[in-house]
Amino acid sequence: RLAGRAGGFSWDLAERPEEPPLFTFPRWSWRRPLLPAAQMLPAARASYDGVFSYEGRTLALRAAPGASARIYGHGNARRWAWLHADLGQDGVLEIVAAVS
């Protein structure tokens, strides 16, 4: 469940991943803190049910397509660029770039 609020925004969503997590960095980058950060997708392709609200206006979602990603680490880049594209039956395209 993904729920929270920030400023005038609030959300309460159920995420249903449609395939296993996608690790965009090698396994060693998760087991040893050699890189300042690494990115992964717990749900490279998922559907979402729930509500997203802003200042009293609510958008209800039912089986809405999407994805979720996480950046973990002991440092942060000054700038990140991220491209995610669902290519349908051909898979997903994931490009991540960072400047420290």
The alpha carbon dihedral of 16, 33, 96, 54 has a sign of: positive
Q: What is the C-alpha separation between 67 and 95, in angstroms, rounded?
A: 14
pTM: 0.77
Average pLDDT taken over every residue of the chain: 89
Contact between 37 and 48 under an 8 Å Cβ cutoff? The reply is no
User: What is the residue-level pLDDT of the chain in tens, covering all 100 positions?
Assistant: 899 999 999 999 999 999 899 888 887 877 777 788 888 899 999 999 999 999 999 999 999 999 998 887 777 788 888 888 888 887 888 888 888 7
